[in-house]
Chains A and B, each alone.
Chain A
Amino acid sequence: MVAMKNLKYTEILKLNKALEGNIQSKPYEIGILSNVTVNSLKEILEYLCRINRIEPKIEFGNFDNIAQDSASLKNKDLNIVIYDVLNIVDQVSEFFEDLEDEKYNSLINKLFTEIDIIFENLRNTASVIFNSFSSIYYNYNNTNFSKIEIFVKELNTYIEQNKTSNVSIINIDKIFALVGFNQSIDYRFYHSSKAPYTFAFLKNYVSAIEPIILRNSGKLKKAIIFDCDNTLWKGVIGEDGMDGIDMSPTTNLGKFYHLVQRIAVFLSKRGVLIGICSKNNENDVLEVFRNHKDIFLKEEHIVIKKVNWDDKASNIREIASDLNIGLDSMIFVDDSNFEINLINEKVPEILTIQVPITLSDYPDILLRNVYTYFNLVLNSDDARKTEMYKQQFEREKNKISFSSIEDYLASLEIELTIVKNDKSYIPRIAQLTQKTNQFNLTTHRYTESQLEYFTSDNKHFVYAMFVKDKFGDNGLTGVCIVKEDENNSKNVILDSFLMSCRIIGRNIEFVFIGYIIKELANKGYKTLCSDYIQSSKNALVENFYDKVGFNYIGNINGTKKYGVKIQNFEIKKIEYIKLVFN
């Protein structure tokens, strides 16, 4: 796939048009609020969404009407606020540097109030992108501060300190630096049409906000698969031998491979699954990972290895199915043109990265992709994920020796702990709603601030489930969100029910939902309604509610509707799973 910044605007328009209408999903609603003209952002942003399999629906506010429009364009999946200093300063009738204190203060106080209004109105939007203010337009002198620079500093401090948790601030000075200021701003069109930004700027801007959009719409990646020779080390182990390959931090070329290995270790600590896919004799490669003096990436960081002479497309497909993740959740890194093209051709869902010919660029290219496509917030569950996937393999192996699956499950000594409305787990719960695709009945994605709201409004119950067995602790791996029906206080609606794929296949879901129904019945609720909303990935749970014993009501636009009386509802007993209360 050609990087956005290498595409001309006309090409983006054509490609975007070709993708229009191809993506079958609920539209991702974006509201753009701006005090300058940014209409050409529309197609560029649409294109970025569509190449990530997101169908966007973009709505612009009125020109220079941000505070007022924040009231009407709220509750989107994403709001982008572009409040450019150029058009703030232009509305000051005097020369800004000569502005009297009184006028300066009234201007800045007016802006603070507007910013307060914007943040307040957008409080319940899933995610807000707010551009930092920039004074780079008024860089008269490098040794002392102009009044405008001080003004901009005050504004930036204010937004940092007063923003709500759903707001991400984009530092546009970084984009100006990357693109070059003169390539970013076109004063001709600023003065004629209040449209200051060039296509070059807009393309880089859209790339800068891409990670936020991916995170929000559950499109983040989960695994990265490396080739070995000339990808993790310089040279070919089968030919050059242990002494001939180079990954030393102190040699000219070795140091880049050393850094790449360090990046891989960094990722594994953050819950990214690391895999190896190499055409080699397995023993040669294992020897490197176990005994090479400079190896930094060790077997303990690697979840899965496919070292054989089969074609890599088949190997990659096997990796996806072994790890139980989608092909579009993986990144593949290889130095060979042939392999990269093969994967692009045969498994186009996978994002590929080719080791660049200029090796000094390699770590940077890798890092740029890593920071775009992975969630790198460290949480304790992530750090243990590699360990947990390994335990999963242990369990799979163990399975074979038991005669019935029930016997096997009973031998696992599964224990569940369920908590309700516990704010301390919100980051992990948000992450699960955003990343879980397969065992997810409705695929509603939530941000931390939305969950914060749910856990405190008395109308929602957010259940989180922890799973443990004799092989290890899986941590928080199940979420259920229930809300009281606004129109009928005796009815509850199952808004979300999802489980991490690593605990699937153990009947845990029945115990989890059984517990919740019992609790809701004890609270006095009479009925429960639930939906199965079909997505491209959740066929696994298509009949889950039938299995639980809910009454199927009908299918409306692809959504299967269910209802059940819960007062005397009995769910099948799973004797071998223990519920623990704390």
Chain B
Amino acid sequence: MVNMKIKEVMSAVFEIPLESISDDSSYDNIENWDSLRHLNLILALEEEFEVSIPDEEVGNLVNYKLIELIINDLLK
């Protein structure tokens, strides 16, 4: 459930099809993932999961696996 939601958020923010997002998706292989969209991604994740991502983690959320890890952590 969380996995799917994260991918949906990424798909909407980066304007790419949901199917193209895999567990290996990252800053390096998604072309639209620039610094402005990164900011929108963080805010959209916070809104979707009703969590607050700490400052020091913001810069770390650069691939799907890390996002999943941190969101799951925050949801505990």
Chain A contacts to B: CB under 8 angstroms:
8-10, 13-14, 17, 37, 39-40, 186, 188-189, 192-193, 195, 198-199
Q: Tell me which residues across on chain B come within 8 A of A195, comparing CB atoms.
A: 36, 39
B3 within 8 A of A: no
Q: Are B43 and A199 in contact (CB under 8 A)?
A: yes
Q: Tell me which residues across on chain B come within 8 A of A188, comparing CB atoms.
A: 55, 58
Q: Distance (Å) between the CB of B46 and the closest chain A CB?
A: 9
Within 8 A of A (CB), among B24-48: 35-36, 39-40, 42-44, 47-48
Q: Are B43 and A9 in contact (CB under 8 A)?
A: yes
Distance of A189 Cα from B41 Cα, bound (Å): 12
Distance of A193 Cα from B37 Cα, bound (Å): 11
Q: Are A10 and B58 in contact (CB under 8 A)?
A: no
Distance of A368 Cα from B36 Cα, bound (Å): 34
Q: Are A192 and B58 in contact (CB under 8 A)?
A: yes
- Which of A13, A186, A192, A198 contacts B12 (CB under 8 A)? A13
- Which of B13, B36, B42 contacts A10 (CB under 8 A)? B13
Distance of A17 Cα from B8 Cα, bound (Å): 14
B21 within 8 A of A: no
Within 8 A of A (CB), among B9-26: 9, 12-13, 15
Q: Are B39 and A189 in contact (CB under 8 A)?
A: yes
Distance of A237 Cα from B74 Cα, bound (Å): 56
**Residue on B nearest A16 in the bound complex, by CB:** B12
Distance of A193 Cα from B15 Cα, bound (Å): 21
Q: Are A193 and B43 in contact (CB under 8 A)?
A: no
The 28 listed contacts between A and B (C-beta, < 8 Å) are: A8-B47, A8-B48, A9-B40, A9-B43, A10-B8, A10-B9, A10-B12, A10-B44, A10-B48, A13-B13, A13-B15, A13-B44, A14-B12, A37-B36, A37-B39, A39-B36, A40-B43, A186-B43, A188-B55, A189-B39, A189-B42, A189-B43, A193-B36, A195-B39, A198-B43, A199-B43, A199-B44, A199-B47
Q: Tell me which residues across on chain A come within 8 A of B9, comparing CB atoms.
A: 10
Q: Tell me which residues across on chain A come within 8 A of B36, comparing CB atoms.
A: 37, 39, 193, 195
**Residue on A nearest B58 in the bound complex, by CB:** A188
Distance of A199 Cα from B58 Cα, bound (Å): 17
Distance of A367 Cα from B13 Cα, bound (Å): 35
Q: Tell me which residues across on chain A come within 8 A of B13, comparing CB atoms.
A: 10, 13
Q: Distance (Å) between the CB of B8 and the closest chain A CB?
A: 7
Within 8 A of A (CB), among B43-76: 43-44, 47-48, 55, 58
Q: Tell me which residues across on chain A come within 8 A of B35, comparing CB atoms.
A: 193
Q: Tell me which residues across on chain A come within 8 A of B58, comparing CB atoms.
A: 188, 192
Q: Are A9 and B44 in contact (CB under 8 A)?
A: yes
Q: Tell me which residues across on chain A come within 8 A of B15, comparing CB atoms.
A: 13, 17
Q: Tell me which residues across on chain A come within 8 A of B39, comparing CB atoms.
A: 37, 40, 189, 192-193, 195
Distance of A439 Cα from B12 Cα, bound (Å): 42
Q: Are A10 and B43 in contact (CB under 8 A)?
A: no
Q: Which 8 A-B pairs have the closest CB atoms?
A: A13-B12, A10-B12, A9-B44, A39-B36, A10-B9, A40-B40, A10-B44, A8-B47
Distance of A199 Cα from B45 Cα, bound (Å): 12
Q: Tell me which residues across on chain A come within 8 A of B44, comparing CB atoms.
A: 8-10, 13, 199
Q: Distance (Å) between the CB of A229 and the closest chain B CB?
A: 40
Q: Distance (Å) between the CB of B35 and the closest chain A CB?
A: 7
Known: A10-B8, A10-B44, A193-B35. 14 other contacts (CB 8 A): A9-B40, A9-B43, A9-B47, A10-B12, A13-B13, A13-B15, A13-B44, A37-B39, A40-B43, A188-B55, A192-B39, A193-B36, A198-B43, A199-B44
Q: Distance (Å) between the CB of B51 and the closest chain A CB?
A: 13
Distance of A8 Cα from B44 Cα, bound (Å): 8
Q: Distance (Å) between the CB of B44 and the closest chain A CB?
A: 5
Q: Tell me which residues across on chain A come within 8 A of B43, comparing CB atoms.
A: 9, 40, 186, 189, 198-199
Q: Tell me which residues across on chain B come within 8 A of A10, comparing CB atoms.
A: 8-9, 12-13, 44, 47-48
Q: Tell me which residues across on chain A come within 8 A of B40, comparing CB atoms.
A: 9, 39-40
Q: Distance (Å) between the CB of B16 and the closest chain A CB?
A: 11
Distance of A21 Cα from B16 Cα, bound (Å): 17
Q: Tell me which residues across on chain B come within 8 A of A17, comparing CB atoms.
A: 12, 15
**Residue on B nearest A39 in the bound complex, by CB:** B36
Q: Distance (Å) between the CB of A543 and the closest chain B CB?
A: 44
Q: Tell me which residues across on chain B come within 8 A of A198, comparing CB atoms.
A: 43
